[in-house]
Structure 1
């Protein structure tokens, strides 16, 4: 799908103002490439004191603690917490199954990616928003608030139809991106090949992995009755069923069992699992729901 001239308004001005005060929580400490606003394992120069160490000839004399020298008659250097940037990846499942609901799951996924991406841009992190299976273009790596426009243009430039499996999409991402950081996979997890291998791949990369599982109300509680022909939008498979109270109850039980198994799978591998309904306002999801779950602060 070619890019449009005006990006769709994914983030309202009111939400943008709220996002500027938030920060994405990384449960791991990564070594960044540039100065930023994240605490690092390394000691450097900033306004936040970290530790002392003995003076070694050649050290910067400006870092000597002269008050400590006056008391102990020994030279010590003041060490400060070095702040570095973080790489935040937002991976969007753009398969045809995401083009469902009102608003569609894909639209909500784009809103979530844009919101999380803007939080990272405001914190001087490196941000990359990518559609799984979108091999034709390399998504830009952005930094700073000025990158918001390019991020929104990229999000507006693609639609559904990238029908690669989650495994293949994550594999392509891994081959194109060699770094570590925080990765947020936004998907409905509707993949006949399963989701497990894709998530294992991200965990194996030593990423801090978040899964935002997007479902529509119609998928959670289908408003269907009577004889129906169901067609898989991704591979065209068809089946005919009669939808009655018994079938709907079995469907709901199967769905709850699936959601429980996904949550358990993620928990065992320290993956943050966040279920999201498309009828939840994105403003509420980001500023309240994700804050309560410790994803942002």
Structure 2
């Protein structure tokens, strides 16, 4: 189960996020006629570094508080978070933060939380063979807390179809977007590459998660391996040369995923789920 207290760690990223967000806003509003030709959207509290020309002084006179006028351009960035909820993500020990789905969902929720703090929009979905949106469309801190409950009610199951899921999601993107995909990438890598190609015209980061037991398994001797997304099982003697071959194949698998993302000019980040959450988020956060 995901405890909302992890957001206290995410809060440590506020300063860098605000610097980035206000820098974008200042860049978009170089004109002395601030807001001219733009559609008024909403108000938000003034933060140090905001353009003072956007302060609503009439509202200040009534409330004694500084509020900034928001225009549509300020909320033009949408962050799309997609978390793999297939059976292979239901792996690991949640007591030591190695359960893949929960760890990955926390990374995605961290993106949603900081996006809301920056007054941008986020959309949060899980996917297997198709995307399933979990957020209610409000892009607020309260919505993130509600998402934690919905994620906790989710049990990963079924097989992943990267191409079908991502290609169908591509049709839902209609604005400047950052797309964060969180998955173990276990499945058909040609399908993964095809799905990524369908959204590669946007800014995309692929966060690849693997648990310690997948990267460097402990069993030795006579061992039964069971498929996590199929009924296939295999009994073999595991150790020595076979263990070395397994580790080499895992390294080749991670390198293959990275090579495919590089061809598409997509950011790839590999995260082992026994990594400290703050360090993992710091390594993947591109705000």
Mapped pair 1:265 → 2:260: yes
Counterparts of 2:170 and 2:149, CA distance in 1: 23
Q: Is the 8 A contact 2:81 2:108 kept in 1?
A: yes
Q: Do the aligned residues in 1 keep the contact of 2:9 with 2:278 (CA within 8 Å)?
A: yes
If you compute each CA radius of gyration, which structure gives the higher value, 1 or 2? 1
The 1:139/1:13 distance shift into structure 2, 3 A limit, reads closer
RMSD: 3.0
- Secondary structure (helix, strand or coil) at the match of 1:124 reads coil
- Which deviations, in whole Å up to 9, do the C-alpha atoms of 1:258-282 show, x marking residues without a partner? 2112112212221110000111121
- Distance across 2 between alignment mates of 1:261 and 1:24: 35
- Secondary structure (helix, strand or coil) at the match of 2:82 reads strand
Distance 1:237 1:120 in 2: 41
Q: Is the 8 A contact 2:4 2:145 kept in 1?
A: no
Q: 1:98, 1:89 → 2: CA distance?
A: 20
Equivalent position SS for 2:181: strand
Q: Which residue of 1 aligns with 2:145?
A: 149
CA distance in 2, matches of 1:25, 1:253: 42
CA shift for structure 1 position 169? 1.9
Give the deviation of 1:232 after TM superposition.
Answer: 1.0
Query: What is the CA–CA distance in structure 2 between the aligned matches of 1:193 and 1:266, rounded to whole Å?
Result: 11
Any conservation in 1 of the 2:135–2:143 contact (CA below 8 Å)?
no
Q: Give the distance between the partners of 2:18 and 2:79, measured in 1 at CA.
A: 9
Task: Give the TM-score normalised by the residue count of structure 2.
Answer: 0.74
Answer yes or no: is the 8 Å Cα contact 1:24–1:119 preserved in 2.
no
* Residues 9 and 199 of structure 1: CA distance in aligned 2, closer, same or farther (over 3 Å): same
Which aligned pairs between 1:4-153 and structure 2 lie closer than 5 A? 8-12=2-6, 14-23=8-17, 39=24, 44=29, 49=30, 83-102=74-93, 103-133=98-128, 139-153=135-149
1:208-242 CA distance string (max 9 Å, x none): 11000001111111112112222212121222221
Taking structure 1 as the reference length, the TM-score comes to 0.72
Q: Kindly indicate whether the alpha-carbon contact (under 8 Å) linking 1:11 and 1:114 is maintained by their aligned counterparts in 2.
A: no
Alpha-carbon offset, residue 197 of structure 1: 1.3
**Contact 1:37/1:83 (<8 A) preserved:** no
Give the C-alpha shift of residue 250 in structure 1.
0.7
Aligned: 1:196 with 2:193 = yes
Q: 1:24 to 1:90 in 2, by over 3 A?
A: farther
Cα shift at 1:174: 2.6
Aligned-residue offset at 1:156: 2.3
Q: Partners of 2:123 and 2:11 in 1: how far apart? A: 21
Provide the secondary structure at the position in 2 that maps to 1:280.
Answer: coil
Higher helix share: 2
User: The residue matched to 2:114 in structure 1 has which SS?
Assistant: helix
Q: Which ranges of structure 2 fall in alignment gaps of 5 or more residues?
A: 34-52, 54-72
CA distance in 2, matches of 1:41, 1:207: 22
Which segments of 5 or more consecutive residues in structure 1 lack a partner in the other structure? 1-6, 27-35, 53-62, 64-81
Higher strand share: 1
